[in-house]
Amino acid sequence: MGFTLALFSLAGAVALLLWGTHMVQTGVQRAFGSRLRNWLGKTLRNRLAAFLAGIGVTALLQSSTATGLMATGFAANGFVELVPALAIMLGANVGTALIAGALSFDAYLAGPVLILVGFVMFRRNPTPMVHDLGRVLIGLGLMLTALHQMLEVLAPAEGSTQLRLMLAVVASLPPLAVLLGGAAAWIAHSSVAVVLLIISLAARDLLPLDTAFYMVLGANIGTSINPLLEGQTGTDPAARRLPMGNLLNRIVGGVLALATVPPLADAAQRFGMAPGQAVALFHVLFNLVLALLLLPLLDPASQLLRRLLPNQAEAADPRQPVYLDSSARETPIVALGAAAREALRLADTLEHMLGDARDALASGNRRLISEIRSRDDVLDSLNTAIKSYLTSLDPDDLSGDDRRRLDEILAFSMNMEQAGDVIDRNLLPHASKRAKRGVAISAPGEKVLSDMMDRLIGNLRTAASLLMTADERVARLLAEEKIAFRKAEHEATAEHFQRLRAGRLDVAQSSALQLDLLRDMKMINSYIVAAAAYPVLDRNGGLLPSRLAGAAE
């Protein structure tokens, strides 16, 4: 096999390994994603439990990056303190090292069997859980097959003068070996794949043992760069504390471990350890010892990170998304959580619009009306950003529950934006008309309008809570609020017609304006109910096809 062809074959094997890892990760997320996230959130209470949880979740997901994204989301949203979040990253690093160590054993014969069993489960069983576990088995089989293919490609390359010359240059310069390992892990977005490649090279005696150790240190550092570069850059610096802390931990550990490489390599050779197994053991020991050393020091480390990355107010431009983390797109659970958090900003903005609209109706303040209209632009921008973010997620990575959650967030976002449009295009023009013409609404009418605006704000807060809890009882209560708005509209209509029949045209104008405002509020409330209550009720069979008598039969 020619040198160029060997390189392409090796690259293809690495790509197959990465794809197998991706299949395992997405399969586990589909099967256990929400339960893993909930369990992880419950264990993030102290550093030891968080450390062990990091090992377990990463062993299942086959990715410390996915675990880190979950922990970053918890820390950024204030659901967990920074210290246990840092502890879970230490556990995730140990977990990914254990994965590489387990896969380094020559178990390639199980690869075809796992693929076959996984294929049968994936294609023949319609049960979602079995279907997703079949995907996991296929991924594991592909990983083992890829590792065997890597070894087969490297076998004839042992005599390649070009390859040996290249690796000799790397072996003569330890800093180059560290940089090469780091760059490979950064490009591949996976320390597992790079470390397994290093193990394969060492197993074929193409890399000296100490050089392989240096490259492993580089891979450990390189894999922690991506979450920092691709995370929530440009938003609150506090959101970058966890990935920054993980990177600094790896750098400090890597620098300290450099001096141990020569003696450890000599010891492994004296004890007659196989080179591949020695590299795998070094990778595990590095992460395990680093975790044991840093666990007691996480308090001062968290204080340092808070000084380096202090809290910051929301972005100056409220139209820009804050929580839509681009790096989370590969982890649907985290991406959907980020989108839901961003959708709550829509509810907050709409609440400010309603509160100011209530004041504008009472005072006729034109400047306040202008400020309310500017907030409608915020709703438009955030809704567009959320839709673009959610539609960019790979459908193949989404489980049935993920797709349902995605649809719920989209419905919430679009209905919030539509409610803002009603305020901008309907309610505010009526408020402006009242201010210009000096229309006086009766005291009872003013109280009705004020009470209904307060009711709207309360319903909006309920809808925001319902987006996160999906409680069917709350959804029913929110849906029943439409009755109150229909009743207020009917009463206002009856009063208006009564004044017209009595020939009281002098007060009919005020009752007409009151009726228009109540209709606007009723429409806004309909969008609020449709945003959060209807998706929950529809999922649980709590909605009828039609309000027409006999239509549901």
Under the banding of pLDDT at 50, 70 and 90, the label for residue 228 is: confident
Task: With beta carbons less than 8 A apart as the criterion, state whether 417 and 384 touch.
Answer: no
Predicted local confidence at residue 20, as pLDDT: 80
Integer Cα distance of 530 and 552 in angstroms: 20
Separation CA 407–CA 387 (nearest Å): 10
Q: Exposed, middle or buried by CB within 10 Å (0-12, 13-18, 19+), for 61?
A: buried
Distance CA 305, CA 362 (A): 48
Pair 250, 224: CB distance under 8 Å: yes
Reported confidence tier of residue 314, pLDDT bands at 50, 70, 90: very low
Q: What is the DSSP string of 261-326?
A: HHHHHHHHHHTT--HHHHHHHHHHHHHHHHHHHHGGGHHHHHHHHHHHS---PSPSSTTS-SS--G
Query: Please, are residues 246 and 86 in contact by the beta-carbon 8 Å criterion?
Result: yes
Provide the pLDDT confidence category of residue 214 given band limits of 50, 70 and 90.
very high
Which range, of 148-162, 294-308, 486-500, averages the lowest pLDDT? 148-162
Tokens describing residue 124: 């023949």
Q: What is the pLDDT of residue 255?
A: 92
Identify the sign of the CA torsion 219, 30, 95, 248: positive
Per-residue pLDDT of 68-101, as tens digits, reads 766 776 666 555 678 888 888 898 889 888 888 8
**Range 457-462 contact pairs with CB under 8 angstroms and sequence separation of 24 or more:** 457/351, 457/354, 457/355, 457/358, 459/525, 459/528, 459/529, 460/347, 460/350, 460/351, 460/354, 460/528, 461/347, 461/351, 462/532
Q: How many CA atoms lie within 13 A of 119 on its CB side?
A: 8
> Cβ(99)–Cβ(62) under 8 Å?
yes
d(CA 231, CA 325): 6
Q: Give 413-471 pLDDT, tens digit per residue.
A: 999 999 999 988 888 887 777 767 666 677 777 788 888 889 999 999 999 999 988 88
On whether the CB atoms of residues 212 and 286 are closer than 8 A, the answer is: no
Residue 552: the pLDDT is 47
Q: Tell me how many degrees the CA angle 240-62-15 measures, rounded to the nearest 5.
A: 100
Res 410: pLDDT = 94
259-262: which pairs have CB atoms within 8 A and are 24 or more residues apart? 261/174, 261/210, 261/213, 261/214, 261/217, 262/210
Tally the C-alpha atoms within 13 A of residue 343's C-alpha that lie toward its C-beta.
34
The yes-or-no verdict on residue 106 having pLDDT over 80 is no
- The residue that leads in pLDDT, 273 or 233, is 273
**pLDDT value at residue 129:** 79
Q: Mean pLDDT, to the nearest integer, of 5-21?
A: 77
156 contact partners, CB below 8 Å, separation of at least 6: 1, 6
pLDDT over threshold 90, residue 508 = no
Q: Indicate the burial class of 158 (C-beta count within 10 angstroms; 0-12, 13-18, 19 or more).
A: exposed
Q: Name which of 24, 58, 63 is nearest 146 in CA terms.
A: 24
Whether the predicted pLDDT of 329 surpasses 80 = no
pTM above 0.75, yes or no: no
- As a whole number of angstroms, the distance between CA 62 and CA 66 comes to 8
Q: Where are the beta strands (DSSP E) in 195-266?
A: none
More confident residue, 361 or 320: 320
Lowest-pLDDT choice from 19-33, 128-142, 230-244, 355-369? 230-244
Residue 85's alpha-carbon distances to 297, 336, 377, 423, 430, in angstroms, are: 13, 20, 36, 42, 51
Considering only 129-133, 145-149, 544-548, which range has the smallest mean pLDDT? 544-548
Residue 30 to residue 33: CA distance in whole angstroms: 6
Distance CA 106, CA 104 (A): 6
Is the Cβ–Cβ distance between 525 and 468 less than 8 Å? no
Q: Which letter does DSSP use for residue 98 in this model? A: H
* Burial of 469 from C-beta contacts in 10 A (0-12 / 13-18 / 19+): exposed
